[in-house]
Amino acid sequence: MPEKDKLVIWPIYFDAARTRSEGRMVPLQDAVNDPTLDSVITAALKSGLKPEIEREKKHPKTWHDPQASGRILVAKNGPKSKALKRIASSLKSKGKKKS
């Protein structure tokens, strides 16, 4: 279990292919296709967060999927939704630059 002053963030939270009940936590317009742990790490760093990386962890709903491993922990500085919005915004802007 992470410390109480950390937020747990999984890549599945930003996956546009998932429904809310399947684990997505951001609005569909803020979600991206196939978010990876590395892309979430990069977005968290760009957002000014200092992620702790735990590559071996598996999301409880996707423990059987070898592609869906890893999570980050970030310092709890306000609501989780705010941190997710910052990371989602960085993920979306990264996707726009590639096009």
Tens digits of per-residue pLDDT, 13-28? 999 999 999 999 999 9
Q: What residue ranges do the domains of the chain occupy?
A: 6-98
- For residue 32, what are its two tokens? 């991206």
Q: Is residue 60 very low, low, confident or very high in pLDDT (cuts 50, 70, 90)?
A: confident
* CATH superfamily, with its number, for domain 6-98: Signal recognition particle, SRP19-like subunit (3.30.56.30)
The answer to whether 52 and 62 are in contact (CB under 8 A) is: no
pTM, to two decimals: 0.87
DSSP H helices in the chain: 37-46, 80-98
Q: What's the chain's average pLDDT?
A: 89
Position 2 pLDDT exceeds 70: no
